[in-house]
């Protein structure tokens, strides 16, 4: 695999990252993940805007956002990818020695980019997935796409180890989001999802869903899905860049409805793929 690191396209085995990179020592960095449809980067500007927001929120002085598109496409060419792919962008604060919590504003950020083929998710999209519920123990700035993901990693690992696709997180009685997805419920033909706040990520796919609902007269409500009422909702689905619109048909050991993707979830899927084809 050929990846990009600080101005060079290199085989990954030849990329050297300093042990004093603050991303390595402190998880001091941000990232973005995006994908293509028909080999065209999807919602690129929205992803770059979010990456810029994240870097600004933690005071990383990175300014080369306009180069990222070309870097991603060049990575795909060098890796001879002939199908749709995902792209990962990571910006760390950079290298500083000795190891101290304090950082200088003069540190030069490190940029790492790689691409990889997308997995076939047809089964999950068509048949739906199961999720588990886990307490949300992440920090309180989940609106920042930080590389400090240990709580997400542990929750998702536990979910997959128990045979589920995703861990859906809750604080007190309120569902926030998944470990790497946004979470939606359907009740009485209305779609419900957590309001934007510092406790959830402003998902790019999430924002598309809001626009599609407005354009198609589907009521969508920003309010917390309640943990103690979770089985009073009619349908659920997850959203994300590679998750797309994935129905949830089982929570823990309990089926949602008849165990099949719901009617409104199917409608949202259809509208989403129509949107993709136009963009």
* First-last CA distance in the chain: 29
If one counts every other C-beta atom within 10 angstroms of the C-beta of residue 112, the result is: 20
For 10, counting Cβ atoms within 10 Å of its Cβ (0-12 exposed, 13-18 middle, 19+ buried), the class is middle
Close Cβ partners of 210 (under 8 Å, ≥ 6 residues apart): 220
Helix (DSSP H) and strand (DSSP E) numbers for the chain: 7, 16
What gap in Å lies between CA 175 and CA 119, rounded to an integer? Answer: 28
Q: Whose CA is closest to 131, among 234, 237, 228, 224?
A: 237
145 carries an active-site annotation: yes
Q: Cα torsion for 144, 146, 151, 152, to the nearest 10°?
A: 80
What gap in Å lies between CA 32 and CA 91, rounded to an integer? Answer: 9
Q: Single out the catalytic residue among 14, 108, 145, 278.
A: 145
What gap in Å lies between CA 17 and CA 175, rounded to an integer? Answer: 38
Paired tokens of 106: 């003069």
Give the active site residues.
Answer: 145
């Amino acid at each position: 695999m050929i990846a990009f690191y600080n101005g060079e396209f290199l085989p990954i085995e030849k990329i050297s990252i300093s042990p004093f990179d603050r991303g390595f020592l402190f998880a001091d960095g941000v990232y973005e993940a995006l994908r293509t449809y028909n080999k065209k980067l999807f919602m690129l500007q929205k992803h770059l805007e979010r990456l810029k927001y994240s870097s600004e929120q933690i005071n990383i002085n990175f300014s080369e956002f306009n180069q990222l598109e070309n870097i991603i496409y060049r990575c795909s060419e060098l890796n001879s990818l002939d199908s749709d792919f995902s792209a990962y962008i990571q910006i760390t604060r950079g290298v500083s020695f000795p190891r101290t919590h304090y950082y200088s504003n003069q540190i030069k950020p490190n940029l790492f980019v790689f691409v990889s083929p997308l997995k076939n998710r047809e089964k999950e999209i068509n048949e739906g997935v199961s999720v588990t519920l886990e307490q949300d123990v992440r920090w309180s700035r989940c609106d920042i796409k930080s590389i400090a993901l240990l709580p997400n990693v542990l929750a998702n690992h536990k979910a997959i180890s128990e045979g589920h696709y995703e861990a859906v997180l809750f604080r007190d009685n309120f569902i926030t989001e998944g470990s790497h997805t946004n979470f939606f419920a359907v009740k009485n033909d209305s779609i419900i999802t957590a309001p934007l706040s510092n406790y959830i990520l402003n998902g790019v796919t999430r924002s598309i869903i809001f626009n599609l609902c407005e354009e198609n007269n589907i009521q969508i409500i920003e309010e917390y899905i309640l943990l103690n009422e979770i089985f009073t909702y009619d349908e659920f689905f997850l959203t994300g860049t590679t998750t797309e619109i994935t129905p949830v048909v089982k929570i823990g050991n309990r089926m949602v409805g008849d165990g099949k993707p719901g009617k409104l979830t199917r409608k949202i899927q259809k509208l989403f793929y129509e949107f993709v084809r136009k963009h």
